[in-house]
Structures are given as C-alpha cells and as structure tokens.
Chains A and B, each alone.
Chain A
Amino acid sequence: DTAVSQTPKYLVTQMGNDKSIKCEQNLGHDTMYWYKQDSKKFLKIMFSYNNKELIINETVPNRFSPKSPDKAHLNLHINSLELGDSAVYFCASSRATSNEQFFGPGTRLTVL
C-alpha cells in the first residue's frame, strides 16, 4: 500500500553517464514534485507538475529533464552526470486542491 514510491533507492554511477529515477504515486493526486536534498540535508524544489503539465522549473541545469507520462508518474532523467549531482532526490505528490505534499522514500544518487 505504498503511497509514493521511487526506484531505485540507491544509484551509483560514473561521471558522464545518463540515468533515470522513477516515481509513482497511488494516492490519486494530480500534482507531483521533485526535490533535491544536498549533503547538508537542505531540501530544495526542482520541478512540479500538475496533470502532466510543468508548473515549476527552478534554476536547475537543463541536464535534468522531468517526464510525466501520466498523472501518477513523474520520472527524472539526468544527462551527463556530474559529481555535484550526488544527492538524495525526493519525489512528492499532492492533491490539486492542497499543497500538503506526501514524500517518497528518496533515491540516493552517488556520482563517482
């Protein structure tokens, strides 16, 4: 009965590679988000989508591209990975009528 799930939980890769993180929510929410938590545990919004449409696109390198195939999924694709991309990435979702956000378990990305 997982509400917001992410795969993989851990991702270790080399610089320059391309990788994707998948997020799915079974809460029936219309809005989904990606946050990045850096090594100091600071959380910052990257993107938000409402019904598959991009709402927020923070100052994030264009190597990061979110894709929402349907309103239950929001995947994050990262091209040409850099050392500084190492972080924990959290997916979240909320109803269309509220900003109460429910978070997934996170994906710890390590770039070597």
Chain B
Amino acid sequence: AQSVTQPDIHITVSEGASLELRCNYSYGATPYLFWYVQSPGQGLQLLLKYFSGDTLVQGIKGFEAEFKRSQSSFNLRKPSVHWSDAAEYFCAVGAHQAGTALIFGKGTTLSVSS
C-alpha cells in the first residue's frame, strides 16, 4: 500500500537550534517526494521536491532534505530554526505523472521556543 509516515506529531525546537523532521514512505514505483509547509490559517507552500539526481535537495527558507532509497526516507532539515518556521509540515509522495494523487503524511507540528 502507498503511504507516508511522519513519526513525530509535534516537535519543539529552540530558536537557533537545528531541526530534522522525519518522513518515511511506501510507494510501489519511483517516488516523487515533496515537503510542504502550512502556516496557521494558510495554504500549502512547497518547500522542496525530489525526483531524481542529487539525493540532497535544497529548498526555500534554508531547508534541505535528503533522499535515502535504502531507508525509504526523505527527512527535512534546517541548520538554524527561526521563530517564523513554526508551522505544520507535510511530507508527500506521488508519481511523476501529472493528474495523479499526492499521498500525504499526517503532518508534524513544529513549535519554536525562544
């Protein structure tokens, strides 16, 4: 079955500290992987994506993610968290073909403490 697991429901990080959000997926074909961020009351903003090539991808707002095929993981990282990073983060997997569904994880809520 196709699925995405985000093991951490809620994470609290001190401002300036590093961050890693975990994502594991199960997908039968070559996966197209995404991280989206949803700020309170806002829509989904794409942080970064991976389909092929370099397994370490850079995104917006200083985020990066590493694809590890052997572990079926696509973890999101940021070296220094800012208070404005507090939001809901969603990992998603899908086919490369347009029109097909993205399968989302249940999200990780990130809180940033001062």
Contacts and interface: CB of A to CB of B under 8 A. Distances in A.
B102 A98 contact: no
Counting chain B residues whose Cβ lies within 8 A of the other chain, the interface size class is 20 to 34
B35 interface: no
Interface of B: 32, 34, 36, 38, 42-46, 49, 88, 90, 92, 94-102, 104, 106-107
A101 B102 contact: yes
Contacts of B92: 43
B49 A100 contact: yes
Contacts of B98: 30-31, 50, 94-99
B97 A104 contact: no
Contact of B97 (A33, A42, A58, A99): A99
Contacts, number: 71
Interface string A28-47: 00110100000011111100
Nearest to A5: B43
Nearest to A32: B99
A99 B46 contact: no
B106 A31 contact: no
A55 interface: yes
A94 B34 CA distance: 14
Contact of B96 (A40, A55, A92, A98): A98
B43 A104 contact: yes
A48 interface: yes
B109 to A, nearest CB: 9
22 contacts: A4-B43, A30-B98, A31-B99, A33-B101, A41-B107, A42-B106, A43-B92, A45-B101, A48-B99, A48-B100, A48-B101, A55-B100, A94-B98, A98-B96, A99-B102, A100-B34, A100-B46, A101-B46, A101-B102, A104-B43, A105-B42, A106-B43
